[in-house]
Amino acid sequence: DAKRLGMAPSAWARGGEGVTIRWTIADTSLGALFVAATDKGLCRVSFDEDADELRRRFPNATIEPGDEALADLAAHVVAAVESPDRDQDLPLDVRGTAFQEAIWQALRTIPIGETRTYSELAALAGRPAAVRAAGTACGQNPVSIVIPCHRAQRIGGALGGYAYGLDRKRALLASEAQRADLQE
């Protein structure tokens, strides 16, 4: 299942030991986007990061510059930033707790142009009282854009946080809302 996880839990626990991670940096209208993947799928998509940060996250992995396959994958992620006509069903290689994974899966069900509150996400994950934990899970999302944590907000419409700044969150939401309006 491409939406599920790839790297073995033991490899994650050992800092990526035995795993090769390729990375690239792609230009977007919101700034440089760092994209990294294993042979199984995307493991990191973030703004304002570089290979040194990836090495800190996975100190025992082999970290290499990207190849053509990664360039193609990165182009799909850039397209999700620049022209979010539809969600990309891209392969992922991410790990989290069972609750984090449930939140990340719930985020992937939010249609472009829509948002959900942290309360709604917690309920979708089967733990309606775990609102703060839902927010924390959004903040720990390793593949921004692909798992659209920018679509999560507080009750009452307040944006809440975003690891890469509220200006980027606003821009992503505005772009998606505009695209959704055009499709109606």
Radius of gyration of the chain (CA): 16
Q: Which of 122, 131, 149, 173 is catalytic?
A: 149
Query: Which of 74, 43, 85 has its CA nearest to residue 175?
Result: 85
State how far the Cα of 123 lies from the Cα of 145, in Å rounded to an integer.
22
**Cα distance between residue 27 and residue 47, in whole Å:** 10
Torsion (CA) 98, 15, 69, 67 in degrees, nearest 10: 160
Sheet of 20-28: strand order equals: 42-47, 31-37, 20-28, 62-65
Active-site annotation holds for 149? yes
Q: Which residues are catalytic?
A: 149
